[in-house]
Amino acid sequence: MRDNPIREERRFGVTSQLQPHQRMHLLAMRESDAWPDLLDVMEMVCIERETDLINTDPADKERVLENHKMAKAAWLIFTHMQLKVDAEISLYTASVAKQPPVPELSARDMLIENILDPTRPAPIDDSYGAI
């Protein structure tokens, strides 16, 4: 098992763009069976913050407001993280799933295609009409 220390501070360079291999890892994680488990744990954290709010003495208005802010922030972070992961995955898939260039058919090639597939419309030559 890898040693994964808890990050409690910002790291230099994290605010820059992800590398393609990092986006590929996000895609693999998003498509794995572990993704719903991760979401469940993060949702549990949000629910814990809500439970703190529910269990706060209503007379302690300052503490109620504080716990409300924490619960709201937890849900915002939870949803934003999912959107950010999806956005990074979209950037990755857009960079690797490029369509190969398809050369344009000449009038002769279009005629041959039409002969081979009569359901295709006949090509039109602007200077002579239908070929």
Mean pLDDT over the full length of the chain: 86
Read off the pLDDT of residues 79-100 as tens digits, 9 standing for 90 and up: 999 999 999 999 999 888 677 7
Closest CA to 92 of 84, 80, 100: 84
Percent of the chain predicted with pLDDT > 90: 56
Closest CA to 86 of 46, 29, 40: 29
Give residue 127's pLDDT band: very low, low, confident or very high (50, 70, 90): low
SS3 125: strand
- How far is C-alpha 92 from the geometric centre of its chain's CA atoms? 9
Give residue 73's pLDDT band: very low, low, confident or very high (50, 70, 90): very high
Q: Look up the pTM and report it.
A: 0.66
Instruction: Specify the range with the lowest mean pLDDT, choosing from 7-11, 40-44, 57-61.
Output: 7-11
Where do the domains of the chain lie? 20-96
